[in-house]
Structure 1
Amino acid sequence: MPYAQVNGQRLYYEDTGGTGPAIAFSHGLLMDASMFAPQVQALRQQGWRCIAWDERAHGQTATGSCAPFSYYDSANDLVALLALLGIERAVLAGMSQGGYLSLRAALRHPQVVRALVLIDTQALPEEEHKMAGHQMIVQEWLQQGLSDERAAVIEHIILGQGWEGAAHWRAQWQRMQPGDLLAAFTTLATRDDISGDIHRITAPALVIHGADDQAIDIERARAMAASLPAARMVVVPGAGHAPNLTHPQPVNAALLEFLQQLPA
């Protein structure tokens, strides 16, 4: 299994290799690199070098006792990983939390970012009432473990109702260690508001959002797209918070069209 030692972290990553243009996929909260399997499969066939990685406190990067971190730290992790792999510029594709770190990478390391693909994400902090609900679930999870009832709530928020692949992710959540869970949610809850800064990001951007996303209101995505100087937006009908996983066909179509139109 490939691991990279960067920024004092041992990061798990997957790299399809090759000499084609690079795209780096950053997953959402409680997810891991495998959530981008439909995109990696489609793009590698088109000659793209696809890198997907597990962020701090998640997947095979998780240690069980993650130290406090910010999304700027995660952005630095990604940039350092790309440098280690010899990649000077890449398209950064991030879903939700992955979008938070990708936007911050674009602000702090613009020379690395060829373009952005922002899937069901935002530049704003969490809405207070939604964060309160998240905190209630997390506190119960930390104290009593993840019940089937709470797992069903998380499934509905991230994956929508009745998606056929949900059992795999419920099992993943059951295995998450308290130290990683606490660190991940603390980072989510304490992140800064960058909505007033993203106008400085000049890289082309594709904003993709599920029409039925319950985690992030679609109007927040529209506002983000309007603030980015070179952004276009695609809405995925019937999709929730993770359309790249649950509705890969329209997401892949939009992604391929966007990438084909990028300047060299």
Structure 2
Amino acid sequence: MLNLDRTLERPGATLRFALLDGDRRTVVLVHGAGMDHSMFTAQALALHRAGHQVVAYDQRGHGGSRLDPGIRFTGAAALDDLAALLDHLGLDRPALVGHSLGGNVAQALVRRDPSRAGALVVADSTWNTGPLSRGERTALRLAAPALSLIPASRLPGMLARASAATPDAVATTEAMFARMPKRSFLDVWRATVAFVDPDPDYRVPVPLGLVRGELDRTGNIATAMPEWAQVEGIDEHLIAGAGHVVTLDAPEATTTALLDLLASVPRA
């Protein structure tokens, strides 16, 4: 786990983040729902060793980043937080690397303002602008009500077993999920779903990399990400033996894929 020794005050929240200095392209790591920056620890340290400047932070309501009393998590606020963090640090077109919800947030920022990023790497996240079948639309609509029926004591373990493939990753993921109250997690889930906004004509306007765990069966990721890669005309990086939480299931392979992707992007 990195030392999140810096803070950024935001409307309704205080964000905690770490900045690891480097001379190569800046990489901003955006973690998934219910997780925190530590899911990227192995990748952050490897990127730093390779000379990259690295920014890791906890999204509002996650890890060390707190919400003010009475404030609930929304996707719009999470998106504005990421933009504000880039502004606060004066970052010019960094590479955005987002996992799951973090991938949705990073996609949304690039879609809103392509000049904010020099590259986008999305790991195990649904395709914000991709097509949805009638069944997928129904599943998205019913997911939060279904999750709300699961007892709070069982929810972290159930979600961890669905998200991770290796015993160590399951245990780590369950511990992170258990820190978030059920109501807050449902807010985060609803925010994740809200980023899905199909647009058949949209193409990502910056260099794009896609990483997916071979065993990821959450949502529609196993079908959406390969289709996204085909539409964009790029190769998807499939990580063998990994589930949804690919950075914890297969940290070395995920780090290698990330370094390879970043090496292929010309510096602006």
Q: What TM-score, normalized to structure 1?
A: 0.86
**Is 1:65–1:180's contact at 8 Å kept on the other side of the alignment?**
no
In the alignment, structure 1 segments of 5+ residues that lack a partner are none
Q: Helix, strand or coil for the counterpart of 2:147?
A: helix
Take 1:195 and 1:252, find their aligned partners in 2: how far apart are those partners? Answer: 31
Q: Is the 8 A contact 1:56 1:66 kept in 2?
A: no
1:248 matched to 2:251: yes
Give yes or no for the alignment of 1:138 onto 2:142: no
Question: Separation in 1 of the partners of 2:198 and 2:57?
Answer: 24
2:37 aligned with 1:30, yes or no?
A: no
User: What SS class does the counterpart of residue 107 from structure 2 fall into?
Assistant: helix
Question: Which ranges of structure 2 fall in alignment gaps of 5 or more residues?
Answer: none
Aligned to 1:155: 160
1:90 pairs with 2:90: no
Is 1:69 aligned to residue 79 of structure 2?
Answer: no
> How far apart in 2 are the matches of 1:138 and 1:157?
16
Cα deviation for residue 197 of structure 1 reads 5.4
* Number of matched pairs: 255
Following superposition, the deviation at residue 163 of structure 1 comes to 2.2
Write the deviation string for residues 83-119 of structure 1: whole angstroms up to 9, x where unpaired: 1112111000001111101111111121111111110
Change (3 A) 1:80 1:228: farther
Q: How much has 1:179 moved relative to structure 2?
A: 4.6
Q: 1:65 to 1:178 in 2, by over 3 A?
A: farther
Cross-structure match for 1:257: 260
SS at match of 1:240: coil
Tell me, yes or no, if the aligned pair for 1:7 and 1:80 is still in contact at 8 Å.
no
* Alignment CA distance shift 1:111-1:217 (3 Å): closer
Tell me, yes or no, if structure 1 residue 192 matches structure 2 residue 196: yes
Deviations, residues 138-180 of structure 1 (Å, cap 9, x unaligned): 3434xxx322xx43321121112x4214333323322213452
Q: Deviations over 1:187-237 (max 9, x none)?
A: 1243332443541x22111101111101044221012223336x4311112
Quote the offset at 1:50 in angstroms: 0.8
TM-score between both structures, scaled by the size of structure 2: 0.85
Q: Is the 8 A contact 2:92 2:116 kept in 1?
A: yes
Structure 1 counterpart of 2:236: 233
Partners of 1:57 and 1:183 within 8 A in 2: no
Question: Are residues 195 and 157 of structure 1, via their aligned partners in 2, closer, same or farther at CA, if it must alter by over 3 Å?
Answer: farther
Alpha carbon RMSD of aligned pairs, Å? 2.3
- Relative to structure 1, is the Cα distance of residues 96 and 127 closer, same or farther in structure 2, using a 3 angstrom cutoff? farther
Equivalent residue, structure 1, for 2:187: 183
For residues 90 and 117 of structure 1, do their structure 2 counterparts lie closer, same or farther at Cα, with a shift above 3 Å needed? same
Task: Kindly indicate whether the alpha-carbon contact (under 8 Å) linking 2:27 and 2:97 is maintained by their aligned counterparts in 1.
Answer: yes
For the structure 1 residues 103 and 190, does the alpha-carbon distance in structure 2 shift closer, same or farther, using more than 3 Å as the test? closer
> Corresponding residue for 1:218?
222
**Whole-angstrom distance in 2 between the partners of 1:81 and 1:197:** 29
Structure-2 residue corresponding to 1:129: 139
Residue type of the alignment partner of 1:159: A
For the residues of structure 1 that align with 2:32 and 2:127, how far apart are their CA atoms?
Answer: 14
